[in-house]
Amino acid sequence: MDALEIRGSFDDSWGGEHTITQTTWVTGGSSFAISQFDNDEQFIIAQNGEDNAYNPGLWSRFDWASVDGALWYCQTAYAAESEEAALATEAADATNPSDGGCGGFSWTQLTTTAE
């Protein structure tokens, strides 16, 4: 099995913290169990944690992009009814992530947490 390319601890542009492992994405009191990912297509499919405040047990798709050395992500789907529905969600537009392409909003920038 390939290693997920974006594993690590990150801060986001909104003051949030993210921990991404091979199997989970945890942020702001929410957890997402990663069921599959594709490093070439730059997406993650994950089931929302049962204890999440929003859309517990449903499915999410996270797209990521590296643009000019910066890492960005967009939670393209957050309440898909199934893993298949999350996978079928159209990828976000990474053309200019600081200005848009994520469901009418900008993407969120992630920076590696200082050790």
Does this model's pTM top 0.85?
A: yes
The 10s digit of each residue's pLDDT in 18-45 is 999 999 999 999 999 999 999 999 999 9
Question: pLDDT tens, position by position, for the chain (115 residues)?
Answer: 699 999 999 999 889 999 999 999 999 999 999 999 999 999 999 999 999 999 999 999 999 999 988 999 999 999 999 999 999 999 999 999 999 999 989 999 999 986 5
Q: Classify residue 31 as exposed, middle or buried by CB count within 10 Å of its CB (0-12, 13-18, 19+).
A: middle
Which amino acid, one-letter code, is at 49? G
- How far apart are alpha carbons 101 and 15 in whole angstroms? 21
